[in-house]
Structure 1
Amino acid sequence: MRLSLRAALLAGALIASSGAALAEPVSLAQALTQGAEQSPRIAEAKAKAAAAEARARQAGASPNPELSVEVENFAGTGVFQGLRSTETTLAISQRIELGGKRSARVAVASSERDFAFLSFRAAEADLARDIRIAHAELRAAEDRAVLARENVGQARELARTARVLVEAGRDPPLRQLRAEAGLAEAQAEEARAFGELLAARRLLADLIGSDDPELSATPIYDEAAPGALPPATPSLDEQLAAAERDAAQARIRVARAEAVPDVTASGGVRRINDGRETAFVAGFSIPLPVRNRNRGGIEAAQSDALAGEAALLQARLNARRAQHDARMLLGAADARVEALSGPSLAQAEEAVRLARIGYGAGKFSLLELLDAQAALTTAKTALIEARLDRARALAALIRANVRAGD
Structure 2
Amino acid sequence: MKPDRKMTPNQWRICGLLMLALLSGCSLPRASCSHAPIGEEMMARTSHTVMCVGPAEFVVPPDVVFEDGVSEDEAVATALSNNAAFQSMLAQLGMAEGDLIQAGLLTNPNLGTFLPISAKQWEWTLFVPLEAFVLRPHRLAIADSDYERVANGLVQNGLTLVRDVRVAHADLAVAIAQYQLAQEIINIRQGISDLTQKRLDHGDISELEAMTARVDVLNAEANAGLLEQNVVVARSRLAWLMGMPPTEAPLFAVLAPPPPLPELDVALLIDEAFALRPDARAADWAVAAADERLRVARLAFLRIDGVVDAN
Question: Which TM-score bucket, shorter chain as reference?
Answer: 0.5 to 0.7
Q: Which has the higher contact order (CA 8 A, sep 6+)?
A: 2
Aligned pairs (5 A) from 1:184-195: 184-195=218-229
> Secondary structure of the residue that 2:256 maps to in structure 1?
coil
Identity level (%): 23
Equivalent pair of 1:69/1:88 in contact (CA under 8 Å): yes
> Secondary structure of the residue that 2:251 maps to in structure 1?
coil
How far residue 109 of structure 1 moved from its aligned partner, in angstroms, is: 0.7
CA–CA distance in 2 between the matches of 1:23 and 1:89?
Answer: 78
2:296 matched residue in structure 1? 254
> Secondary structure of the residue that 1:127 maps to in structure 2?
helix
What letter matches 2:298 in structure 1? R
How far residue 44 of structure 1 moved from its aligned partner, in angstroms, is: 2.4
Aligned pairs (5 A) from 1:155-234: 155-211=189-245, 212-225=248-261, 227=264, 229=268, 232-233=271-272, 234=275
Structure richer in helix, relative to its length: 1
CA–CA distance in 2 between the matches of 1:151 and 1:58?
Answer: 67
1:243 matched residue in structure 2? 285
CA–CA distance in 2 between the matches of 1:261 and 1:239?
Answer: 33
> Secondary structure of the residue that 1:94 maps to in structure 2?
strand
1:24 matched residue in structure 2? 68
2:179 matched residue in structure 1? 145
> Secondary structure of the residue that 1:25 maps to in structure 2?
coil
> Secondary structure of the residue that 1:155 maps to in structure 2?
helix
> Secondary structure of the residue that 1:143 maps to in structure 2?
helix
1:66 matched residue in structure 2? 110
CA–CA distance in 2 between the matches of 1:243 and 1:26?
Answer: 38
CA–CA distance in 1 between the matches of 2:98 and 2:132?
Answer: 24
CA–CA distance in 1 between the matches of 2:307 and 2:134?
Answer: 21
How far residue 69 of structure 1 moved from its aligned partner, in angstroms, is: 5.4
- Cα distance, 1:194–1:107 mapped onto 2, change above 3 Å: same
Equivalent pair of 2:106/2:132 in contact (CA under 8 Å): no
CA–CA distance in 2 between the matches of 1:235 and 1:181?
Answer: 57
How far residue 244 of structure 1 moved from its aligned partner, in angstroms, is: 1.8
Write the deviation string for residues 235-266 of structure 1: whole angstroms up to 9, x where unpaired: 313222212222222221122121x2212344
- Cα distance, 1:175–1:70 mapped onto 2, change above 3 Å: farther
CA–CA distance in 2 between the matches of 1:23 and 1:153?
Answer: 29
TM-score, structure 2 as length reference: 0.68
CA–CA distance in 1 between the matches of 2:125 and 2:134?
Answer: 27
- Cα distance, 1:225–1:132 mapped onto 2, change above 3 Å: farther
How far residue 96 of structure 1 moved from its aligned partner, in angstroms, is: 1.8
TM-score, structure 1 as length reference: 0.53
> Comparing 94-103 with 192-201, which one deviates more in the overlay?
94-103
